[in-house]
């Protein structure tokens, strides 16, 4: 398939380019576009055939539903409906606070949305992104757009145009080159169908943020036990995800204990002829000069920087041909909860305790 690459200004998106890409989407084509979280791979959410092509391009399992993206509340209500007034009020209260932005809310699906979007579930996730290109594209498309992250299934989500090019060139109609994603991890997925709102996937909008608006907020734990259950609430949670090609070993403990554990293990791997990488904060990375590739997550106390750096770093380790990546489990405060969730899954669901 011929893939067209279209550069769009992230600050002042050119209207004629948005109109063109919007028309490609409306008439059933696939367009990869930037959002504030990660790049998405969009298709007209009303067209079953277009949605199926998304699964094909990504190699995505057929039981992992897509999020529907909208520019207006009216479009949200064309895709989903509310169980009752209470749920409607909650949806609008959370929307008023966090939309447009990195929050996906799950409500009951309307029948106009094909089963290929929801993978047979009777619910649908809806998100109104804030990125200017994404928002302009959705207005131009004039239909809700189903869009998963624009990576090949199982690979780290793309936070830069180059990542999308790597995974999607030749498989989609258009790739928009629209700069870097400011948040860097995927949206918070929030289920509104239970007795209290429940976070199914942590993101930049935290559980505390939600609880401040909703009064209460539950979370679906992401310990190894939850990762290995057969029927998770969010189908996406059961797949090994965000996976670099290298093996990732994640250690928990104090920075000192982790440093000793990593250095011992790192030397053993190097002796065995392996190429090793270390992913650490700016404060810690200087201790690992023996590693082949050192990548920083940014300052220890800046979770937002960690979120922005993570996926690009995982891809960079792959590009450098690293066999083993060492990393430390950070305190899951604020957005770091989302960052640790992704790292934990990249590590295959195991954290090794560093001995004191
Ligand atoms: O930030 C984001 O959410 C990005 C950008 C492109 O918007 N999109 C994204 O989509 O991350 P995707 O498909 O990679 O992840 C969607 C997640 C999956 O874990 C999926 O299982 C879950 O949301 N999900 C979607 N619809 C659901 C539903 N009805 N019930 C439960 N989980 C759902
Ligand atoms: Mg994804």
Q: What is the pLDDT of residues 3-12, one digit of tens each?
A: 999 999 999 9
Averaged over 299-305, what is the pLDDT? Answer: 97
pTM of the model: 0.95
Sign of the dihedral defined by the CA atoms of residues 167, 140, 14, 132, in that order: negative
Output the six-digit token pair for 96.
Answer: 């008023």
- Going by pLDDT thresholds of 50, 70 and 90, the confidence category of residue 157 is very high
Phi, psi of 150 (to 5 degrees): -90, 35
Task: State CA 343 to chain mean position distance.
Answer: 12
Rounded to the nearest angstrom, the distance between the alpha carbon of 187 and the centre of ligand 1 is: 8
57 lines ligand 1 (CB under 6 A): no
Looking from the CA of 118 toward its CB, the CA atoms found within 13 Å total 20
Residues 220 and 271 occupy one common structural domain: no
Count structural domains, the chain.
2
| pLDDT over 50 at 329, yes or no | yes
Is 158 inside a domain boundary?
A: yes
| pLDDT over 50 at 278, yes or no | yes
187 lines ligand 1 (CB under 6 A): yes
| pLDDT over 90 at 233, yes or no | no
Q: What pLDDT is recorded for position 229?
A: 47
| pLDDT over 60 at 231, yes or no | no
Q: What pLDDT is recorded for position 349?
A: 84
| pLDDT over 60 at 332, yes or no | yes
With CA atoms as reference, report the closest residue to 345 among 199, 238, 231: 238
Q: Name the closest ligand to CA 101.
A: 1
| pLDDT over 80 at 25, yes or no | yes
Q: Please give the residue range of the domain that contains residue 253.
A: 247-353
Residues 161 and 16 occupy one common structural domain: yes
- For ligand 2, an ion, list residues with CB under 5 A: 149
What percent of the chain is predicted at pLDDT more than 70? 94
Of the listed ranges 71-80, 212-221, 239-248, 261-270, the least confidently predicted one is 239-248
Q: What pLDDT is recorded for position 228?
A: 47
The ligand 1 atom nearest the CA atom of 186: 1
Residues 291 and 212 occupy one common structural domain: no
Going by CA atoms, what residue is nearest to atom 30 of ligand 1?
Answer: 234
Among 118, 148, 188, which is best to mutate for testing ligand 1, by the most ligand atoms less than 8 A from CB?
148
Is 231 inside a domain boundary?
A: no
The ligand 1 atom nearest the CA atom of 150: 6
Residues 265 and 220 occupy one common structural domain: no
- Going by pLDDT thresholds of 50, 70 and 90, the confidence category of residue 230 is very low
| pLDDT over 50 at 39, yes or no | yes
CA distance 206 to 336: 10
Q: What pLDDT is recorded for position 350?
A: 85
Give the three-state DSSP class for 325.
Answer: strand
Is 296 inside a domain boundary?
A: yes
Rounded to the nearest angstrom, the distance between the alpha carbon of 203 and the centre of ligand 2 is: 13
Q: What pLDDT is recorded for position 162?
A: 98
């Amino acid at each position: 398939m011929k893939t067209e690459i279209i550069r769009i200004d992230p600050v002042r998106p050119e209207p004629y380019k948005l109109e063109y890409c919007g028309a490609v989407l409306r008439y059933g084509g696939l367009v990869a576009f930037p959002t504030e979280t990660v790049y998405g791979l969009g298709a007209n959410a009303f067209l079953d055939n277009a949605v199926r092509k998304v699964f094909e391009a990504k190699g995505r399992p057929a039981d992992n539903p897509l999020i529907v993206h909208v520019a207006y509340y009216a479009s949200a209500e064309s895709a989903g409906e509310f169980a009752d007034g209470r749920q409607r009020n909650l949806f609008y209260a959370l929307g008023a606070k966090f939309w447009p932005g990195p929050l996906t809310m799950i409500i009951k699906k309307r029948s106009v949305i094909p089963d290929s979007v929801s993978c047979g579930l009777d619910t649908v996730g809806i998100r109104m992104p804030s990125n200017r290109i994404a928002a302009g594209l959705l207005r131009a498309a004039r239909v809700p757009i189903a869009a998963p992250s624009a990576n090949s299934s199982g690979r780290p989500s793309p936070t830069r145009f180059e990542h999308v090019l790597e995974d999607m060139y030749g498989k989609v109609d258009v790739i928009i080159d629209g700069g870097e994603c400011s948040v860097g991890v995927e949206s918070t997925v929030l289920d509104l169908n239970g007795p209290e709102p429940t976070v199914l996937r942590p993101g930049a909008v935290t559980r505390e943020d939600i609880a401040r608006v909703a009064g209460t907020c539950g979370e679906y734990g992401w310990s190894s036990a939850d990762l290995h259950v057969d029927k998770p609430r969010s189908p996406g949670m059961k797949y090994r995800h965000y996976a670099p090609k290298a093996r990732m070993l994640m250690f928990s403990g104090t920075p000192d204990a982790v440093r000793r554990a990593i250095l011992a293990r790192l030397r053993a791997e190097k002796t065995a002829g392996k190429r090793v990488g270390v992913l650490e904060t700016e404060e810690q990375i200087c201790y690992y000069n023996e590693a082949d590739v050192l990548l920083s997550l940014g300052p220890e106390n800046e979770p937002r920087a960690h979120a922005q750096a993570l996926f690009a770093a995982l891809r960079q380790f792959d590009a450098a041909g690293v066999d083993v990546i060492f990393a430390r489990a950070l305190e899951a405060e604020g957005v770091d909860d989302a960052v640790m969730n992704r790292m934990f899954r990249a590590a295959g669901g195991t954290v090794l305790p560093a001995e004191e």
